[in-house]
Structure 1
Amino acid sequence: MKTVKIVGVPEHFNLPWQLCIENAEFEEIGIDLQWTDIPEGTGKMCQMLRDGETDMAVILTEGIVKDIVAGNDCSIVQVYVESPLIWGIHVASNSKYTNLAELENTKVAISRYGSGSHLMSFVNAKNQHWNTEKLEFEIVNTIDGAVDALTKGNGDYFMWERFMTKPLVDNGIFRRVADCPTPWPSFVIAVRNGFLESNRQTVALILETINNTTIEFKDIPSIDRTLASRFNQKQEDIREWLKLTKWSQKPLEEKVLNNIQNQLFDLKIIDKKGTFAEIVKAV
């Protein structure tokens, strides 16, 4: 049995992995896939890949592209979710801010530097024609940390996946003032290069297994009920999310990577661009 460590966020996007593990689908092909939830998100997962604490990660596209360009010795082997991630822009329920325009030059709560919540604040600022050099940040680590920071006034707004944050909106803890979709595919699967070089067949088997599940994921009987129960969501919200979400079973295309890097470069999130061969590896 080959042991493989993999990390991802504890969100509805990753239920296909949990189902494969629970159904012993990886065990059947001789792989002990050890999944770890990382509530801190992309920045933490990038660090784990760098430090060799994990072999693989299901990770936000913009975050891992930035980190590979910055020297993280890993590669993107596949797109996992092709559709954009819809980031909700949230304030505390008692916040004086009522619309997006009022948030210019206020403090952004982020999970950590290099995370999606950090990088997407630049995308949002550019969309609103704000001066990105004036962005200020409060590191909160997790969504619970964001609740604490916004409630106490240590941060003014927080960007997180809209549907995962909706229970906080429904419960009157946050107010959502706007949405900001990513201008690229949401999630990719990244692998440490050292692990990939000596375990290419294992990685290929893992991708084949997860892809067989994501192809049919929306057709699983009562999947909306399962998702709603596991992730504390309303079924109508899950149904809307399922309509908007498209999983992928394909590699990241060069033109898509070029588009991502061009936008990150324009936002000054990266100061150089990597080649396709440096960032994407075929399995």
Structure 2
Amino acid sequence: MTDLKIGGVPEHFNYPWYITLKNKEYNKHHINLRWQDYPGGTGQMCKALRNGSVDIAIVLTEGIIKDIADGNPSKIVQTFVKTPLIWGIHVGAKSSFKKIEDLENATIAISRFGSGSHLMAIVNAYNQGWDVSKLKFKVIGNLQGGIDALTNGEADYFMWEHFTTKPLVDNGIFKRVGNIPTPWPCFVVAVRNEVLENNFEEVKKVLDIINEETKDFKEIDAIDKTLAKRYEQQLEDIQKWLKITEWNAGKPMTKNLITRIQNKMVKFNVLEKRKNSEEFIKNMYI
């Protein structure tokens, strides 16, 4: 039995992994795949990939590209969710801020430097024409940290996935002043180089199993009700989310796509310079 550790955010995007793990799909192929939730998001997972506490991570595209460029010894093996992530831009319930334009000089709550909440705040600032060098950040760790920081005034706004934070908006904890979609596919599967060298076939089998699951995921009987209950969402919100979300189901990440994403990230001042796109990816389907 091969032991592999995998991690991701505890959000609806990753429910296909829960199904395959619950059904012991990996055990049938002598793979002991153990799931770890990472509520701190991509920054927390990049750190875990670096220190070896996770082998495979379902991470935000922008976060892992930035971290591989900065020396993370991992590769992207495929896109997991090929549609953009919709980031909600939130302020506290009692905040006087009404719209995105009001936030130019405000303090931004981010889970970690290098995380999606950090990088997308830069993308948003760039889109608004603000001076990116003047952005002020407060590191808060995770979603609960964001709730605390906005409630007690330590930060002014916080960006997190639209549907995950919708219940907080519905319950009057956050106000949403806008949304911004990622200008690229949102989630990818990243694997440590050492694991790819030693367990290439096992990683490939893991991908085959999850891709088979995501292929018909939306057709699962009453999947909308299951997700709404599990993630404490309104049924209509989950139905909207399912409508705009597409999984990748097995196509490899291409050099062209990495190059296009890097070009945007350089333009947004997220990356200093573009690197050879081959450094970021490993094709599992040669």
**TM-score scaled by structure 1?**
0.99
1:247-276 deviations in Å (ceiling 9; x for gaps) = 002111222111111111122222232212
What secondary structure is seen at the aligned counterpart in 2 of 1:124? helix
CA contact (8 A) 2:255 2:278 kept: no
Residues 1:268 and 2:269 aligned together: yes
Matched-pair contact (CA < 8 Å) for 1:149–1:155: yes
Q: Deviations over 1:153-198 (max 9, x none)?
A: 1100000000000000000000111000000000000000011011
Aligned partners of 1:83 and 1:244 also within 8 Å: yes
Residue matched to 1:234: 234
In structure 1, stretches of 5+ residues that fail to align are: none
CA distance in 2, matches of 1:198, 1:190: 15
* Partner SS state of residue 33, structure 1: strand
Could you tell me which residue of structure 1 aligns to residue 206 of structure 2? 206
Ranges of 4+ aligned residues in structure 1 off by more than 3 Å: none
SS of residue paired to 1:88 = strand
1:27 corresponds to: 27
Specify the code of the residue in structure 2 equivalent to 1:109.
A
Deviations 1:209-262 (A, max 9, x none): 000000010000000011001100011000000000000021112221111111
Matches within 5 A, 1:210-221: 210-221=210-221
> What corresponds to 1:69 in structure 2?
69
Mapping of 1:49-88 within 5 angstroms?
49-88=49-88
Return the letter of the residue paired with 2:166.
K
State the alpha-carbon separation in 2 of the partners of residues 112 and 72 from structure 1: 16
SS in 2 for 1:163: helix
Secondary structure in 2 matching 1:179: strand
1:242-253 matches, cutoff 5 A: 242-248=242-248, 249-253=250-254
Structure 2 portions without partners, runs of 5+: none
Code of the aligned partner of 1:171: N
Kindly provide the amino acid, as one letter, of the partner of residue 279 in structure 1.
F
Q: Distance in 2 between matches of 1:259 and 1:130?
A: 23
Match of 2:188 in 1: 188
1:95 aligns with 2:92: no
Confirm whether residue 162 of structure 1 aligns to residue 162 of structure 2.
yes
Separation in 1, partners of 2:104, 2:188: 31
Q: Could you tell me which residue of structure 2 aligns to residue 144 of structure 1?
A: 144
Per-residue Cα deviation, 1:17-75 (whole angstroms, up to 9, x for no partner): 00000011111111111000000011110011011111110000000000001111110
What percentage of aligned pairs have identical amino acids?
A: 51
Task: Tell whether the 8 Å contact from 2:265 to 2:271 is kept in structure 1 after alignment.
Answer: yes
The one-letter code of the counterpart of 2:187 is F
**Residues in 2 aligned to 1:253 and 1:97: alpha-carbon distance in whole angstroms:** 41
The DSSP-based 3-state class of the residue aligned with 1:3 is strand
Structure 2: which amino acid aligns with 1:236? E
Amino acid at match of 2:257: V
How many pairs does the alignment contain? 283
CA RMSD of aligned residues (A): 0.7
- Deviation string 1:114-141 (CA, Å, 9 cap, x unpaired) is 0000000011011111111111001110
> How many Å separate the matches in 2 of 1:255 and 1:122?
23
- Residue 256 of structure 1 corresponds to 257
2:18 corresponds in structure 1 to 18
TM-score, normalised relative to structure 2: 0.98
CA–CA distance in structure 2, aligned partners of residues 99 and 114 of structure 1: 25
* Residue in structure 2 matched with residue 282 of structure 1 by the alignment: 283
Tell me how far apart the structure 1 counterparts of residues 22 and 282 of structure 2 sit (CA, whole Å): 29
CA distance in 1, matches of 2:240, 2:123: 24
Structure 2 SS opposite 1:176: strand
Aligned to 1:179: 179
